[in-house]
């Protein structure tokens, strides 16, 4: 969190008379403080779930970065590709988690979502 804050502060204190490298340095501090930890955590998180899952994490992180960037900058194809990659990354994270038998549920923690309703089972939710 210190790197983006330093970039914002440095960029805000440049004033009007600055060289191009100074604004690029501020931008690099801001982007590097967000992008590097996000990509690293996504790749390592995917690898922690399953061998080769780092690709899924990279796809997720790339989509999470490219989608909003394309929307803000106004590059429509980048936004579409980014959001598709983000959605695919989320789905693939669920798939590799399921294949690796990571405990997952949908609903409140501790509840089991089943395709049937057993009134005698306290862990079954009404679906």
Q: Which residue has the higher pLDDT, 71 or 106?
A: 71
pLDDT of residue 14: 80
pTM above 0.85, yes or no: no
pLDDT tens, position by position, 69-98:
999 989 999 999 999 999 999 999 999 988
Mean pLDDT of the chain: 83
Q: Which residue has the higher pLDDT, 35 or 18?
A: 35
Report CA-CA distances (Å) from 83 to 47, 79, 92, 94: 22, 6, 14, 17
109, pLDDT greater than 60 = yes
67, pLDDT greater than 90 = yes
Query: What residues have CB less than 8 Å from 95, skipping those under 6 apart?
Result: none
pLDDT of residue 82: 95
DSSP labels for 77-123? HHHHHHHHHHHHHHHHHHHHHHHTT----SSSTTPBP-SS--TT-TT
């Amino acid at each position: 969190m210190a790197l983006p804050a330093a970039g914002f502060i440095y960029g805000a204190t440049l004033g009007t008379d600055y060289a191009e490298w100074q604004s690029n340095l501020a931008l690099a501090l801001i982007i590097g403080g967000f992008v590097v930890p996000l990509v690293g955590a996504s790749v390592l998180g995917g690898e922690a779930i399953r061998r080769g899952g780092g690709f899924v994490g990279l796809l997720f992180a790339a989509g999470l970065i490219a989608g909003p960037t394309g929307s803000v900058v106004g590059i429509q194809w980048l936004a579409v590709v980014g959001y598709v990659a983000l959605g695919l990354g989320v789905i693939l994270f669920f798939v590799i988690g399921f294949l690796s038998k990571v405990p997952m549920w949908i609903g409140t923690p501790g509840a089991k979502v089943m395709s049937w309703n057993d009134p005698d089972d306290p862990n079954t939710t009404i679906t």
